[in-house]
Amino acid sequence: MLWKILVAVVIGAVSGWAAGKLMKSDGSLLRNIILGILGGALGGWLGSLIGIGGGWVMAIILSIAGACLIIFLWRLIFKKK
């Protein structure tokens, strides 16, 4: 159980970093990693709702997509003026 949580956090952190690069985020690495972990949870949840899942590659893809969505929403909510 603990092993699965640790792997999910690591995948989320890497996905947050990758999503930060894809979205050209000007946020800190730590913020992108935290958003990536949250995005990984969101991506996994949405993937399970629509029946997509299974395997490490799909988990990483869903995690990056979820992190990109979280970064996009972050920009909408905390838009700089």
> Which structural domain, as residue segments, surrounds residue 25?
11-71
Domain count of the chain? 1
pLDDT in tens, 30-68: 887 788 788 878 887 888 888 886 777 887 888 888 889
pLDDT for res 59: 79
Q: Is 23 contained in some domain? A: yes
Q: Is 64 contained in some domain? A: yes
In the 3-class helix/strand/coil scheme, how is 49-80 assigned residue by residue? HHCCCCCHHHHHHHHHHHHHHHHHHHHHHCCC
pLDDT in tens, 40-50: 788 878 888 88
Q: Is 29 contained in some domain? A: yes
Q: Is 18 contained in some domain? A: yes
pLDDT for res 80: 62
Identify the CA nearest to 43 among candidates 24, 56, 62. 62
Between CA 65 and CA 75 the distance in angstroms is 15
Q: Is 37 contained in some domain? A: yes
